[in-house]
């Protein structure tokens, strides 16, 4: 079978049963998962999902982690009702599938979410994080959206925006050393281009031995040697947000 010859690198490890602490809401034309901290806050983070969509338990787990660190977190359905990718789908059809879901065409949805965060959640300082497809979306937003303060792109697909590096806001890029989707040459080139063109703070960090999907996959029970890097990636993400929000 085509699927078995190319298992999804995002899907490694334990897709754990996680119900989430937040709730699903309707925000104008899109659905979203929202989680709020117990104490009121004016800080919020938009979480942009990967190809597996806004309902993936792993992504909601990260949203809730942000909430335990004092942020309102929202993970909208940036596929706007279109089906998320399933591990059982035939990878031969992936390129056609992803063409209909452009990480650079989410501006309308982001505007709706920003309005919701400001009007309904009292947010004044808003950042964004994203994984894989969502990491590419973060880079897109950091290049053009004036209303966001900072971003964390987590194994974002670099090739999507390889010619654009004049970031408006401080951006942190997380990559795995053994990522089959994002070769290290691409990461090196990204660093060179940022050095030449970027006027704001940025950091590019490569985590030793890590494969695609390591930060938001619960893999501790399968590869104990990865646990420190998973924890480090999450801690670095929180520290970056704390610094710039």
Q: Which residues carry out catalysis? A: 132, 179, 212
Query: What is the Cα–Cα distance from 7 to 155, expressed in whole angstroms?
Result: 17
Is-contact 111 78, C-beta < 8 A? no
Cβ-based neighbours of 6, under 8 Å, separated by 6 or more: 91
Query: What is the Cα–Cα distance from 111 to 230, expressed in whole angstroms?
Result: 31
Is-contact 74 62, C-beta < 8 A? no
In terms of Cβ atoms closer than 10 Å to its own Cβ (0-12, 13-18, 19+), residue 100 is exposed
Residue the block writes with tokens 């990636």: 233
The distance in angstroms from the start CA to the end CA of the chain is 47
Query: What is the Cα–Cα distance from 138 to 142, expressed in whole angstroms?
Result: 6
Query: What is the Cα–Cα distance from 95 to 198, expressed in whole angstroms?
Result: 31
Per the structure block, which two tokens stand in for 56? 């993936």
Residue the block writes with tokens 């990522």: 179
């Amino acid at each position: 079978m085509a699927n078995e010859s190319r298992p999804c690198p995002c899907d490694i490890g334990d897709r754990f049963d996680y119900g989430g602490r937040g709730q699903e809401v309707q925000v104008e034309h899109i659905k979203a998962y929202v989680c709020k901290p117990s104490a009121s806050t004016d800080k919020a983070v938009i979480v942009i999902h990967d190809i597996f969509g806004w309902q993936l338990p792993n992504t909601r787990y990260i949203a809730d982690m942000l909430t335990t660190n004092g942020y309102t977190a929202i993970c909208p359905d940036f596929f706007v009702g279109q089906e998320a990718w399933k591990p059982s789908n035939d990878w031969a059809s992936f390129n056609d599938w992803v063409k209909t879901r452009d990480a650079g065409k989410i501006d309308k949805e982001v505007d709706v979410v920003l309005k919701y965060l400001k009007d309904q959640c009292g947010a004044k300082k808003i950042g964004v994080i994203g994984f894989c497809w969502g990491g590419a979306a973060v880079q897109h937003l950091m290049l053009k959206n004036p209303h966001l303060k900072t971003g964390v792109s987590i194994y974002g697909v670099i090739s999507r925006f390889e010619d654009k590096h004049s970031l408006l806001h401080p951006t942190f890029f997380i990559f795995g050393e053994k990522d089959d989707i994002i070769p290290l040459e691409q990461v090196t080139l990204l660093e060179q281009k940022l050095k030449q063109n970027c006027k704001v703070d940025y950091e590019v960090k490569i985590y030793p031995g890590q494969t695609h999907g390591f930060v938001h996959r619960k893999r501790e029970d399968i590869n104990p040697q990865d646990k420190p890097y998973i924890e480090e990636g999450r801690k670095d993400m929180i520290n970056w947000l704390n610094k710039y929000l």
